[in-house]
């Protein structure tokens, strides 16, 4: 007989492919959201040229750019609507 251990997920924080990050964003009266700043590994980055690149009823994915030292880097941020949490891919 083979016994398998079960792991119960506690939500987004258990997802190894995602990293939960703090984000400062604007929210308007029509429900539009725009991320302005993200904190990654204790460093804060201003987000430039952000736009919704994908969306469904649970997740809004934003593409944009951040400055890392003197280089412009692309960034993807996902906002999980039901969880009220922001995540980036965990590379």
Instruction: Read off the pLDDT of residues 19-61 as tens digits, 9 standing for 90 and up.
Output: 999 999 999 999 899 999 999 999 999 999 999 999 999 999 9
pLDDT at site 15:
75
Q: Taking Cα atoms as reference points, which of 83, 45, 88, 87 lies closest to residue 66?
A: 45
Please state, in angstroms and rounded to a whole number, the distance separating the CA atoms of residues 57 and 32: 14
Rg, C-alpha atoms of the chain: 16
């Amino acid at each position: 007989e083979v016994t398998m251990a079960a792991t119960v997920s506690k939500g987004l924080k258990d997802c190894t492919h995602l990293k939960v990050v703090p984000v400062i964003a604007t929210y308007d009266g029509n429900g539009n959201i725009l991320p302005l700043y993200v904190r990654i590994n204790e460093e804060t980055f201003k987000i430039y040229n952000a736009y919704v690149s994908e969306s469904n009823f649970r997740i809004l994915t934003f593409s944009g750019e951040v400055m890392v030292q003197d280089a412009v880097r692309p960034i993807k941020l996902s906002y999980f609507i039901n969880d009220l949490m922001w995540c980036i891919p965990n590379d």
